[in-house]
Amino acid sequence: MSVDNRQQKAERIRHLLDTEGDNVHENTQVFNDGRYESTAHLDDYDRLKDEARAIKEDAIERLPELLDQVTEAVETNGGTVYLADDTADANRYITEVAGGRNVVKSKSMTSEEIEVNESLEASGADVWETDLAEFVLQVADEAPSHIVAPAIHKSRKEIADLFNVYFDPEEPLETAEELTQFAREYLGEKIRDAEVGMTGANFITADTGTLALVTSEGNARKSVQATDTHIAVAGVEKLVPTIEDLQPFVELIGRSGTGQDITSYISLFTPPSDSPTFGEEGELGPGDDRDFHLVLIDNGRMEMREDDQLRETLYCIRCSACANSCANFQHVGGHAFGGETYSGGIATGWEAGVHGQESAAEFNDLCTGCSRCVNACPVKIDIPWINTVVRDRINHEDATEFDFLVEGLTPDEEPGGMDLQKRLFGNYATLAKLGSATAPISNWLAGTKPVRMLMEQFMGIDRRRDLPKFRHETLRKWFKTRGGSRVSPADAKREAVLYPDTYTDYVQVERGKAAVRALEALGVSVQIPEVASSGRAPLSQGMIETAERHAHEVYADLAGHIDAGQDIVVIEPSDLAMFTSEYEKFLADESAERLDNNSYEIMEYVYGLLENGASGRELRGGDGEEVAYHSHCQQRTLGLEAHTVAVLSELGYDVLTSETECCGMAGSFGYKREYYELSMDVGSELEAQFQAEDARNRTVVASGTSCLEQLESLLERSSQHPVQLVDPAK
């Protein structure tokens, strides 16, 4: 990315933070909190998710067969099915069916994807969006910023101002009730006058040709009931085999999206509908000669189905949980975190599939891979992985004929056309090794103004962010100098390999030393062998090939230790997450499983030792010390926050945990010039909580490297890893 592009991007993000950020934040937060609450009430949330996922897997697998089946079912009912290859094909067909008659629409992202309004209007039709949010956007001439609540970025006041100027009502509109009532009446007239009703479909059952529409307002029902022709547009991926298959989705979709147990209306239409329609002269007439057209849109989806990495995108039920649970999305919304149509975490997959990589490239880097969306997704899509894959493809797409000139700059096999900034962060392990070898000169040099300016200009590293200070004496060197473990294997209760992640080894050496002493205090014999870096850094820059190579190296380095019955103890949560999640993609199943089964986060391991009878007497007790603890995104996804809290509490610390789930830093993200301000904006919530009266004087602890760095920049007081608190030497 050029300096100018970076500058432009930073400005655009700043603008959205200022103008739309607050509204998006407030509303997505409500949705996200609602999701937690509502899914907690489900007896068997995980079973439902598994069921939903299995149905989608099966449906996409059998898609061609289901397409034939639904065509037969709809035609038997008296409707028509049209399979549209692309946008132009879909629009041509729809415009022909509408024949210039007036159209009322209920909300449909698929119809946004093909921009059907423009083509209908060009044919002389009057088109009205009847979903109130879409109506607002139609009046404002804006694009949706969220897939479920498209006008989420607008406040009541902004809507009122918009309506008062546009419609010039006798009495200015002010309250949400007045605005709703006005829109209902205005659109009521449009619905009465229209002859064509257009809807999307959240699901379509292949066996009966039934459309399931998940709605709240009632406008979809009116648009179908009051008109003589119903056109439903949907992506081909919306097919599920049978009516019974709708059940898990009906229970999951509202909870996942807006946090409602169920939305007001789940409409199951098996068109053509025979409910009375609005006939001539104000009579309710028989509805049994309604015309129905189901337009199923391919537009790249069948190709996505063939694509091993993008296929999972088709399992998406467009609930928006990935957007609502994403800290970056919560702050900037879909006008930054979105492409031509789709926004939020899964949008990268959709945009790459239906509009092409270029559209995905615009916002793909806003996914930091924090994985908070993974547990939120009701069909268990590994969204960060899709984003990484697309990032990797974008990197390769940028390769140019001049690649050979810079190929030597970095030791990996990734293409030279790749952004210099990404190459730098992706090769952090190499940089750390160099920086440490030349410390403290490297630190001094990197801290000087001219160097910071050059780094900002050429690599886009924001000069407002402090750089990590490399330590000349690495953790491994220290450990060797002290003569290895103080507990011999013969006397040990257990033997552990402390994984020397790049940061702990070269930068945050103190937390490594503390971990060694804590483990020894619990009777564990410790080793710190040379092990390759996990590959997290290259992975997050989309350098999959490099990350995969690291995975094989790590496994080769650790397999012997596992064979010898040693446990692998990891300090950095994002590295543990690599071992337990991403390595599945890189290693043979059995290898990945072995590494996963034998790897533990440091505090999880301490917890296990204490639970199994180890005495914590030698660890430093809290004696009521007040602590403010921030867990780590990926650590939470793995369900490991509780272990740290339990250990600290057991040792007598008074622990307050952060309610904000994200510090905003996420690996290299907060260093980048274009994202620095967003990173700080996200972090401001954590800052506010830890600066509040009940937390202001507490000792700050955090598990992740990036979290610690962000906390250092947010707070006056310094922070440390929890294992440093309990360090017996302290």
Q: Is 196 in the site for another protein (CB under 8 A)?
A: no
Among 49, 154, 391, 698, binds another protein (CB under 8 A): 154
Distance CA 34, CA 319 (A): 13
CB of 287 to another protein, least distance (A): 7
For residue 515, the one-letter residue type is A
Nearer to another protein, 30 or 88 (CB): 30
Pair 642, 432: CB distance under 8 Å = no
Per CB under 8 A, 287 contacts another protein: yes
66 touches 59 (CB < 8 A): yes
Nearer Cβ to another protein, position 38 or 328?
A: 38
Ranges within 295-324 binding another protein (CB under 8 A): none
Whole-angstrom distance, CA of residue 18 vs CA of residue 6: 18
| Contact flag: residue 19 with another protein (CB under 8 A) | no
In the complex with another protein, the residue whose CB is nearer, 242 or 488, is 242
Question: Residue 29 interacts with another protein (CB under 8 A)?
Answer: no
Asked if 218 touches another protein (CB under 8 A), the answer is yes
Q: 13 or 149, CB closer to another protein?
A: 149
Residue 131 lies near another protein (rule: CB under 8 A): yes
Contact present, 329 and 345 (Cβ < 8 Å): yes
Residue the block writes with tokens 């979903």: 131
Question: Is residue 488 a contact residue for another protein (CB under 8 A)?
Answer: no
Asked if 179 touches another protein (CB under 8 A), the answer is: yes
What are the CA-CA distances from residue 554 to residues 221, 230, 506, 719 (Å)?
A: 57, 58, 18, 30
Q: Which positions from 705 through 724 interact with another protein, judged by CB under 8 A? A: none
**Contact between 208 and another protein (CB under 8 A)?**
yes
Residue in 128, 269, 605, 676 binding another protein, rule: CB under 8 A: 269
Nearer Cβ to another protein (188/484): 188
Q: Would you count residue 143 as binding another protein (CB under 8 A)?
A: no
Which residue of 54, 97, 262, 302 would you call a contact of another protein, by CB under 8 A? 262
3-state secondary structure 465-527: CCCCCCCCCCHHHHHHHCCCCCCCCCCCCEEEEEECCHHHHHCCHHHHHHHHHHHHHCCEEEE
What whole-number distance in Å separates Cα of residue 157 and Cα of residue 173?
10
Between CA 365 and CA 196, with CA 147 as vertex, the angle to 5 degrees is 140
Residues contacting residue 64 through CB under 8 Å, at least 6 positions apart: none
With binding defined as CB under 8 A, does residue 264 bind another protein?
yes
**Would residue 141 be called left, alpha or beta, if left means φ above 0 and alpha means ψ between -120 and 50 degrees?**
left
Among 19, 45, 50, 265, binds another protein (CB under 8 A): 265
| Strands, E assignment, 358-398 | none
- Regarding 263 and contact with another protein (CB under 8 A), the answer is yes
Of these, 19, 80, 155, 375, which contacts another protein (CB under 8 A)?
Answer: 155
Specify the DSSP class assigned to residue 249.
Answer: H
Among positions 116, 133, 373, 487, the unique one binding another protein when judged by CB under 8 A: 133
Is 35 a binding residue for another protein by CB under 8 A? The answer is no
Q: Decide if residue 400 touches another protein (CB under 8 A).
A: no
Tell me: does residue 186 bind another protein (CB under 8 A): no
Pick the binder of another protein from 44, 68, 283, 358 (CB under 8 A): 283
DSSP 521-554: HTTEEEE-------SHHHHHTT-HHHHHHHHHHH
Min dist CB 98 to another protein, Å, is 22
Among 5, 8, 29, 275, binds another protein (CB under 8 A): 275
Decide if residue 113 touches another protein (CB under 8 A): no
Instruction: With beta carbons less than 8 A apart as the criterion, state whether 369 and 544 touch.
Output: no
Options 113-121, 279-287, 352-360, 497-505: segment touching another protein (CB under 8 A): 279-287
Answer for the pair 377, 383: CB distance below 8 angstroms, yes or no: yes
Residue 605 to residue 495: CA distance in whole angstroms: 12
Read off the tokens for 315. 């399992």
Positions in the binding site for another protein (CB under 8 A):
27, 77, 130-133, 136, 149, 151, 154-157, 159-160, 175-177, 179-180, 183-184, 187-188, 192, 207-208, 210, 216-219, 221-222, 225, 242-244, 246-247, 250-251, 258, 261-271, 273-276, 278, 282-284, 286-288
